[in-house]
Amino acid sequence: MEATKQDKTGTGHDSQDAVDFLEAEHRSVEKLFKAFEKTAEDDLEAKAALVQRACEELSIHAMLEEELLYPAAQEALPHSDTINVEEAYIEHFLVKALIAKFETMKAGDKGFDATFKVMSEMVGHHVEEEEDELFPELRKSKCDLRALGAKMAERKTKLQSKLDAVGSRSVGDKTTTL
């Protein structure tokens, strides 16, 4: 295995398929949500850092799904009655609205914790639908999940580089956009 291929996905697997790639991303965000739940009420610095990281990961993840996964799913599953990609786009829109809300909030502000909790619940519902419905259907389809996974890993690397180039944004700082 080449180190460069391993580094692209961040999981140590070269040529990881799209479903495995996205499931690993889901687990990563879930860990951030769980860490936030366990964070002391008055540890505002830790809360801000966790929210910032979750918002960054969710923003990149949504872009990957919207640019690559959903178009591939619509092509591979054109007649599926159980897969509703339009619903997924709406769920992404709502999560992005909550992410935007954090641009004007700071840890400790009224509604900060509640906003993150609602976002966590929405993402949990979205992940459950993808993993229980969309991903199994994609595995059964003729979609080239390895090629799609490689495209996602490459796109994530580019998006992460853009984020790194401008510096990780703080919650409450409106200056950074991808």
| Structure confidence by residue, pLDDT tens digits, 52-107 | 999 999 999 999 999 999 999 999 988 876 677 888 999 999 999 999 999 999 99
Measured CA to CA, the distance from residue 175 to residue 22 in angstroms comes to 28
Q: Does residue 4 sit within a domain?
A: no
For residue 70, give the nearest of 98, 91, 53 by alpha carbon: 91
Quote the pTM value: 0.83
- Total number of domains constituting the chain: 1
- The answer to whether position 106 is within a domain reads yes
- Has residue 6 been placed in a domain? no
Closest CA to 155 of 71, 30, 54, 88: 71
Q: What digits encode the pLDDT tens for the residues 144-170? A: 999 999 999 999 999 999 888 887 654
- Estimate to the nearest angstrom the gap between the alpha carbon of 33 and the chain centroid: 12
State pLDDT tens for residues 16-66. 899 999 999 999 999 999 999 999 999 999 999 999 999 999 999 999 999
100-to-36, 105, 162 alpha-carbon distances in Å? 19, 9, 18
User: Residue 9 falls within a domain, yes or no?
Assistant: no
b/e map of 63-92 (b: 16 or more CB within 10 Å)? Answer: bbbeebbbebbeebbeebeebebeebeebb
In a domain, 5, yes or no: no
14: pLDDT strictly greater than 90: no
Rounded distance, CA 167 to CA 161, Å? 10
Instruction: Count H helices and E strands in the chain, helices first.
Output: 8, 0
pLDDT at residue 15, rounded to an integer: 65
Domain of 100?
16-166
Tell me whether residue 64 is in a domain: yes
- The answer to the question of residue 151 being in a domain is yes
Residue 46 inside a domain? The answer is yes
Give CA–CA dist 51/170, Å, rounded. Answer: 9
Q: Distance between CA 2 and CA 38 in Å, rounded?
A: 38
Distance CA 5, CA 15 (A): 7
